[in-house]
């Protein structure tokens, strides 16, 4: 076969290759390159002068094969997602080479050969060659022929100085005012109500610390824009195959009765119809409840996808989830010029309604389980009849070897996965299910990137994956990026967003601030991961390790110094602990360090006993091994989702989703940031994904309770950001403050409950927490209030959130703090001290068509008692305060003002809770009222007993007058 020049792609007459890397070019291209002033090899950078060698055509194929062997094997490693699999016989599902050794072990041995080459002088060039992915090499080749080939795929848009500078100045001013305010508060105690004063000061100090933790990570907010057209121009050239990286989609579901199959089906359909090359897309659905209903609905979904996907792509439909597309209240004829669109849309809507009838019939049938259990269509029992004791199940739909769409085109692969479950094994809930998907996808498709979605989060922007690839496939940006996080957006929320379900302040303010530091935290859904980062590998360029200090202490005995070699060795050990394997720097280790890596942290001990999976982890750019066998792959896929696979491995400890908390998302992102990776926040104009939020008050509080409980669990674990990850110095200080804030915020509930109780106590006892104000003290109080307001206004200015959204967030901070967060703190300590584990409850997803139907539902839960009690206490206190002022005369109204203002602050913040408690019919569960009135009465009687309203004697009246303007 005639060799091909890597520059002009023409057949080579006289073949010339670089001595360092055997880069093949023809003589005419070489002469042109030298004439243009390019005197170094485009692949390895070695100078052409004296480094060229002529190779005859017969030797050319061997040169190319040797070069590619240095690149981990085949073109699939370059991110080309293979859909066809070659067949090679295997023994016991092991990937064996001709000499009888597992292939991944040969890769490990090749590291030693590379070091030998390095010692001879040429190894450095080879190492450099290995580090450059093939897709980046193709970019470099075309840099000289296409002027725009290396244009950036994304751009950072900094916040204008006119907006960010005043914001930072006000933050510093507010910090100074806080210091002066606390100086006044601490040096001016209220002797007559010392307990109340001390409680209030402690609470205020904690609130100030919480503000610092929340505020300063927002010091460097940024915006980003992407250029998807440039991405297509670079990686999707006309007439050639697409060079975009492959992506595996993960969809997780547990209970089809709480998470309706129709919602999950819409998510799957939106993924199958995404605007991305079909051969690069695979969708994995994890059914952690092993429900036959989920499986049967997925069968119906796969059949309907054959109609829906071509319809979406032919008419550029948005969004591509049929339920949400057909429910849009827009003029669908606008901008549609195809004459057949109206007819086909009506036919498609009719087909979708028929599809819904079939799925809903399956749901109705599943309401009552037969005594003998479910049976499949062929009469065999359903393997998952016992959801806690069943084998692993995998079913592949569609794809290269499956059914095509109605137009005969290939569809993305759809895979149903239900991991094995057995009694006596810890399955780790959602985190364990996600790790099972990581392994099974690595065996079957092994895309270099994967995107995980909750079952109720559909793809709202069909170009969302392209948006993420603008960062991940950009050589100037994506080398050290572990994931791309998209903001969560929601449907079906009432216009006023009574319970702050949209979380706009968090997603549009806090996350933008983190994007300017080391990147946003992982929020559990709508995130595109780089697979290698989740395997525990370090980024290409790890931050510099700390150098040994040469200074000595003159105040005491000197500690024995470590020699330089010992210090470097210890640093390398820290490196290995932070990133299990770092392929980019493995060649720099000496023989001892390499043996430490391979023996003490062997691949089997880390990833489990699957040679197929281990082989996939060594492919930096994804793809399947040449030796992959279709028959063996399914068996291996079943093996990697077995319930005992993770035993004595690093899964859940150092790699994959990290176990130990119900909020495994925060923990997983934190571990990757500690290894030196960074993340990116992508906010396209059209929201990438949309989901459904629990707008019912009880469900919303239980959702917040679960998040807060996860934060408490992390706080009480070894992964607490207060002490974890300091050694490597890879986590930036402001990023650490943000993570500390995510795990300590539930503890704010304790001072918040106390602070919300103080107004009622002051009104009932006639005491107050603030002494008579001087003019200077009044300035500090006024300055503090003005700085709080100014900070909020400037934050609104640069972030774009509205005043109403900011106020709703403030209200729900109080509502959640005195209810769900309080319960989370106690449950977290009960779990740690007494071993009492709380059950993880799935948030029910709305399945009916009644808009805002859940908003007015009231469900009994103990979480409702504390905020209701606080409301009753403060209302009783206001009534008692006014009654007392009327009895005492005009001079009592001045002190009453501060106390009533304080009480109304609490009532206003709890007003959405009060409104939700009353419901549409203004009815509240009787038990909630009884418990709340009982607790409020007990507190009131206790304080009446301690300090009665009617003071005994004139002296008592004089001494009790300690309030403002008294």
Q: Which residues are catalytic?
A: 288, 665
SS3 123: helix
Locate 901 and state its tokens.
């203002």
Helix, strand counts (H, E) of the chain? 34, 16
Q: Which long-range contacts (CB under 8 A, 24 or more apart) does 64-69 make?
A: 64/3, 64/22, 64/24, 66/22, 67/21, 67/22, 67/23, 67/129
Distance CA 438, CA 446 (A): 9
Please state, in angstroms and rounded to a whole number, the distance separating the CA atoms of residues 621 and 72. Answer: 10
Radius of gyration of the chain (CA): 32
887 alpha-carbon distance from chain centroid: 59
Contact between residue 246 and residue 280 where contact means Cβ atoms under 8 Å apart: yes
Measured in degrees and rounded to the nearest 5, phi and psi for residue 396 equal -100, 125
> How many other C-beta atoms lie within 10 A of the C-beta of residue 142?
16
d(CA 864, CA 819): 7
Contact between 259 and 455 (Cβ < 8 Å): yes
* Buried/exposed code over 216-236 (b: 16+ C-beta within 10 A; e: otherwise): bbbebbbbbebbbebbeebbe
Nearest Cα residue to 615 out of 65, 94, 71: 94
Tell me if 840 sits within 8 A of 537, measured CB to CB.
no
Tokens at 474, concatenated: 């950009």
The span from the CA of 907 to the CA of 858, in Å, is: 20
d(CA 618, CA 77): 9
Strands (E), 651-787: 678-681, 689-692
Phi, psi of 116 (to 5 degrees): -60, -40
Sheet containing 689-692: order of strands: 458-459, 689-692, 489-491
Contacts of residue 142, defined as CB under 8 A and 6 or more positions apart, other chains included, come to: 149
Which tokens go with 725?
Answer: 């990850």
d(CA 646, CA 624) in angstroms, rounded, equals 22
What are the respective helix, strand and coil percentages of the chain, to the nearest 5? 50, 10, 40
CB atoms within 10 A of CB 585: 17
Q: What's the DSSP call for residue 774?
A: P
C-beta atoms surrounding 313 within 10 Å: 18
CA dist 536 and 528 (Å) reads 16
* Distance, CA of 393 to CA of 381 (rounded, Å): 13
Among residues 511, 579, 514, 545, the alpha carbon closest in space to that of 735 is found at 514
Backbone dihedral region for residue 757 (phi beyond 0: left; psi -120 to 50: alpha; all else: beta): alpha
* Residue 931: both structure tokens together: 């418990």
Beta strand pairing status for 413-418 and 281-287? parallel
- Residue 603 token pair: 């691949």
* Sheet architecture: strand order including 449-454: 393-398, 413-418, 281-287, 247-253, 449-454, 527-530, 481-485, 678-681
Which residues have CB under 8 Å from 162's CB, separation 6+?
none
* Helical residues (DSSP H) of 507-660, grouped into ranges: 511-515, 531-534, 564-578, 591-600, 603-607, 611-617, 630-640
CA distances from 551 to 569, 727, 963 (A): 21, 20, 57
């Amino acid at each position: 076969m005639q060799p091909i020049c890597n520059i002009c792609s023409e057949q080579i007459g006289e073949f010339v290759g670089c001595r360092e890397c055997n880069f093949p070019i023809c003589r005419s291209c070489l002469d042109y390159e030298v004439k243009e002033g390019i005197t170094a090899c485009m692949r390895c950078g070695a100078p052409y002068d004296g480094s060229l060698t002529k190779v005859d055509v017969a030797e050319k194929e061997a040169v190319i094969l040797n070069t590619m062997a240095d690149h981990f094997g085949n073109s699939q490693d370059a991110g080309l997602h293979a859909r066809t699999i070659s067949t090679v016989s295997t023994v016991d599902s092991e990937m064996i080479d001709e000499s009888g050794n597992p292939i991944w072990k040969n890769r490990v041995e090749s590291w030693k050969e590379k070091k030998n080459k390095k010692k001879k002088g040429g190894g450095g060039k080879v190492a450099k060659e290995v580090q450059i992915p093939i897709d980046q090499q193709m970019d470099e080749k075309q840099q000289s022929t296409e002027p725009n080939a290396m244009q950036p795929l994304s751009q950072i848009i900094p916040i204008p100085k006119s907006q960010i500078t005043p914001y930072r100045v006000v933050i510093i001013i507010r910090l100074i005012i806080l210091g002066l305010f606390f100086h006044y508060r601490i040096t001016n105690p209220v002797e007559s109500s010392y307990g109340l004063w001390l409680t209030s000061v402690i609470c205020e100090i904690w609130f100030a610390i919480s503000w610092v933790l929340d505020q300063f990570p927002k010091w460097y907010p940024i915006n980003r824009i992407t250029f998807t057209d440039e991405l297509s121009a670079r990686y999707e050239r006309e007439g050639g195959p697409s060079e975009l990286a492959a992506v595996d989609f993960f969809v997780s579901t547990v209970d089809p009765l709480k998470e309706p199959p129709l919602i999950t089906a819409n998510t799957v359909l939106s993924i199958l119809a995404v605007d991305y090359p079909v051969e690069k897309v695979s969708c994995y659905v994890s059914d952690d409840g092993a429900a036959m209903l989920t499986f049967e609905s997925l069968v119906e979904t796969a059949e309907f996808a054959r109609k829906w996907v071509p319809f979406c792509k032919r008419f550029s439909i948005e969004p591509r989830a049929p339920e949400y597309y057909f429910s849009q209240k827009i003029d669908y004829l606008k901008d549609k010029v195809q004459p057949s669109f109206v007819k086909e849309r009506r036919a498609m809507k009719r087909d979708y309604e028929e599809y819904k009838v079939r799925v809903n019939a399956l749901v109705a049938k599943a309401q009552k389980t037969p005594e003998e259990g479910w049976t499949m269509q062929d009469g065999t029992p359903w393997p998952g009849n016992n959801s806690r004791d069943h084998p692993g199940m995998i079913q592949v739909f569609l794809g290269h070897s499956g059914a095509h769409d109605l137009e005969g085109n290939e569809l993305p692969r759809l895979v149903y996965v239900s991991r094995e479950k057995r009694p006596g094994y810890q399955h780790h809930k959602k985190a364990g299910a996600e790790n099972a998907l990581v392994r099974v996808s690595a065996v079957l498709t092994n895309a270099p990137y994967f995107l995980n979605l909750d079952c109720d989060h559909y793809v709202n922007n069909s170009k969302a994956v392209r948006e993420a690839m603008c960062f991940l496939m950009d050589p100037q940006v994506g080398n050290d990026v572990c994931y791309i996080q998209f903001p969560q957006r929601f449907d079906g929320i009432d216009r006023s967003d009574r319970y702050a379900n949209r979380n706009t302040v968090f997603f549009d303010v806090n996350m933008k601030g983190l994007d300017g530091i080391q990147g946003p935290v992982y929020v559990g859904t709508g995130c595109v991961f780089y697979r290698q980062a989740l395997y525990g590998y370090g980024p290409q360029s790890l931050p510099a390790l700390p150098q040994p200090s040469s200074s000595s202490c003159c105040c005491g005995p000197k500690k024995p110094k470590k020699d330089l070699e010992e210090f470097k060795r210890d640093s390398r050990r820290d490196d290995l602990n932070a990133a299990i394997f770092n392929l980019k720097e493995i060649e720099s280790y000496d023989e001892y360090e390499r043996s430490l890596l391979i023996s003490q942290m062997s691949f089997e001990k880390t990833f489990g006993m699957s040679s197929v999976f281990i082989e996939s982890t060594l492919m930096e750019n994804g793809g399947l091994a040449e030796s992959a066998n279709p028959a063996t792959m399914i068996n291996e896929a079943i093996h990697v989702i077995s319930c005992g696979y993770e035993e004595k491995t690093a899964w859940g400890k150092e790699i994959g989703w990290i176990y130990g908390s119900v909020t495994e998302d925060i923990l997983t992102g934190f571990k990757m940031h500690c290894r030196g990776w960074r993340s990116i926040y992508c906010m396209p104009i059209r929201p990438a994904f949309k989901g459904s939020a629990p707008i019912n008050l009880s469900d919303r509080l239980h959702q917040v309770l679960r998040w807060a409980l996860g934060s408490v669990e992390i706080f009480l674990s070894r992964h607490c950001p207060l002490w974890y990850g300091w050694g490597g110095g890879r986590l930036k200080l402001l990023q650490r403050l943000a993570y500390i804030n995510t795990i300590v915020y539930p503890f704010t509930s304790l001072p918040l409950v106390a602070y919300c109780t103080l107004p009622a106590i002051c009104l009932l006892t006639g005491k107050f927490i603030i002494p008579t104000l001087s003019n200077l003290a009044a300035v500090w109080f006024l300055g503090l209030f003005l700085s709080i307001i100014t900070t909020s206004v400037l934050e609104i200015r640069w972030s774009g959130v509205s005043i109403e959204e900011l106020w709703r967030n403030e209200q729900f901070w109080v509502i959640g703090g005195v209810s769900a967060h309080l319960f989370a703190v106690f449950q977290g300590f009960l779990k740690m001290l007494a071993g009492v584990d709380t059950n993880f409850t799935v948030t029910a997803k709305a399945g009916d068509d009644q808009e805002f139907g859940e908003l007015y539902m009231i469900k009994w839960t103990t979480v409702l008692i504390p905020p209701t009690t606080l409301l009753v206490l403060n209302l009783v206190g206001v009534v008692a305060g006014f009654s007392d002022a009327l009895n005492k005369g005009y001079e009592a109204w001045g002190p009453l003002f501060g106390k009533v203002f304080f009480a109304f602050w609490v009532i206003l913040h709890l007003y959405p809770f009060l409104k939700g408690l009353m419901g549409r019919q203004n009815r509240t569960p009787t038990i909630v009222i009884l418990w709340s009135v009982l607790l409020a009465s007990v507190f009131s009687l206790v304080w009446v007993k301690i300090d009665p309203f009617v003071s005994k004697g004139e002296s008592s009246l004089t001494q009790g007058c300690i309030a403002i303007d008294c």
